[in-house]
Amino acid sequence: MVVSTSSWRSRAGACPRSWSRCGSRASQPIPPPTARGRTTVPVPSVVRGTPFHERTGPLCRAGNWRRWAGHLSASSYEPTHEHEYQAIRSACALIDVSPLYKYRLSGPGAAALANRVVTRDVDRQDVGQVYYTPWCDAAGKLRDDGTLHRLGASDFRLTSAEPTLKWLHENARGLDVTIEEETERVAALALQGPRSRELLERITDGNVAGLRYFRVMSARIAGVAAEVSRTGYTGDLGYEIWVGATDAIPLWDALAAAGEPFGLAPAGMLALDMARLEAGLLLVDVDFIPAHRAIIEGQKSSPYELGLGWTVSLEASNFVGRAALRAERARPPAWRFRGIALDWESLEAAYATVGLPPQLPGTTLRDSVPLYAGGRQVGYATSRGWSPTLKTYLGLAHLEAESAAAGTELEIEVTVEHRRRRARATVTKTPFFDPERKRATP
């Protein structure tokens, strides 16, 4: 038996350790590959480029990079991200999501392992179905969230924001299951936006139009073998494409070559962050702290406290944290996760005290800000920002249960010229942006 960070097999009794302008002259075309070869952008040794870096590197003219799980990830390709955001909402965009951690679970015990780890009922998951799911510690507090793709009766792919290999190993004791980390082996590209289906149909041999929401299929895209899932992190119509790392560049080039009529543009993390806020989607280390990295109990959250009760199947197998979550369901959670909408006139009045117009954030803000009701702090906002589509200043917030009902009037702390002020805000339901096209199948 060979044990490595990329593959491990546990048996019973053994447990080893021409690109679109996107409606603006400022948007960049993606140059096609030339006969002379590929342009290579040097990558610092402290981080790695993704399998798409030969294409994303030259396109990132802003030089605006960030580190994501040890990889270079473009924050924005242009000096500002507005055109990239508009591609997501009005055309289609390519987003490199390869740094996601990816794990393959296979073998007779694969379904049993998945049932031990995630809060969903894997026995009810069809082959070709994708689950969004959290997983918890023994106290029922969230460790992470991600997607579980059922590729076969005994074949799964789990994606996560945090390294999860050790956690999978620890819970695979006594099971006949192979666990492989395929983070570096599998490249992932999100194609998101209202015209994404049209583009994908143009170059895919499978029935992409018939692929339902949160389903996955095998297909060939311009001759490249791929798995296509009807998933994404934008709250819009979109797909995620999973290919071998060596096929990343041919996949990118095929999409780029076919994408101009559909307004295709590359989009970075700033545009993605704005879209996921509108969709009301959680971001690790911003909207919740993984339980295994929390310093105090107050930093931990359960699925019920994060609005994820719908993902908890207490009648399913005995997953980690089930007993704690069963006990919690018997009593209302003390905290709720909600959306908030800031009152424009109130914000305007706060800035008027110093003779300034309201200052709107150009990107999604990720700092914690107090929320008040009746003069008492009742929670805090996590993600917040201006929605260009909804023309509203939105936020996500943790609130005490008695102040979390939709329509509840709150106050949010704002800093105006170095002084703390308060503006009105209203509790709202999420998602803020939820178009029918996201789920619709022609």
Quick one: pLDDT at residue 147?
99
Please, are residues 277 and 384 in contact by the beta-carbon 8 Å criterion?
A: yes
Residue 390 forms part of a structural domain:
yes
Other residues' Cβ atoms within 10 Å of the Cβ of residue 107: 19
Tell me the residue type at 403.
S
Residue 402 forms part of a structural domain:
yes
Over the stretch 132-142, which tens digit does the pLDDT of each residue have? 999 999 999 99
Burial 43-54 (b: 16+ CB within 10 A, else e): eeeebbbbbbbb
Place of tokens 């800000």: 369
Q: How does pLDDT run along the chain (442 residues), one tens digit per residue?
A: 223 334 433 333 333 324 433 333 334 444 444 434 444 455 545 789 999 999 999 999 999 999 999 999 999 999 999 999 999 999 999 999 999 999 999 999 999 999 999 999 999 999 999 999 999 999 999 999 999 999 999 999 999 999 999 999 999 999 999 999 999 999 999 999 999 999 999 999 989 999 999 999 999 999 999 999 999 999 999 999 999 999 999 999 999 999 999 999 999 999 999 999 999 999 999 999 999 999 999 999 999 999 999 999 999 889 999 999 999 999 989 999 999 999 999 999 999 999 999 999 999 999 999 999 999 999 999 999 999 999 999 999 999 999 999 999 999 999 999 999 999 999 999 999 999 999 999 8
Own/partner pairs, 197-204, CB within 8 angstroms, 24+ separation = 197/237, 197/239, 197/442, 198/262, 199/92, 199/255, 199/258, 199/259, 199/262, 199/264, 200/228, 200/239, 202/258, 203/254, 203/255, 203/258, 204/228
Residue 295 forms part of a structural domain:
yes
| Cα–Cα distance, 230 to 209 (Å, whole number) | 10
Residue 74 forms part of a structural domain:
no
| Cα–Cα distance, 38 to 417 (Å, whole number) | 49
Residue 13 forms part of a structural domain:
no
Quick one: pLDDT at residue 332?
85
Quick one: pLDDT at residue 18?
41
CATH at residue 385 = 2.40.30.110
- Going by their DSSP bridges, the two strands 101-106 and 92-96 should be labelled as unpaired
Find, among 198, 190, 209, the residue nearest to 263 by Cα: 198
Token digits of residue 406: 């939709």
Please, are residues 94 and 191 in contact by the beta-carbon 8 Å criterion?
A: yes
Contacts of 21 (CB under 8 A, 6+ apart): 27, 29, 263, 265
Quick one: pLDDT at residue 43?
52
Please state the pTM of the whole predicted model: 0.89
Residue 270 forms part of a structural domain:
no
Over the stretch 151-191, which tens digit does the pLDDT of each residue have? 999 999 999 999 999 999 999 999 999 999 999 999 999 99
Residue 32 forms part of a structural domain:
no
Range of the domain at 406: 291-301+334-428
Token digits of residue 358: 């309201």
Domains identified in the chain, total number: 1
Residue 190 forms part of a structural domain:
no
Quick one: pLDDT at residue 129?
99
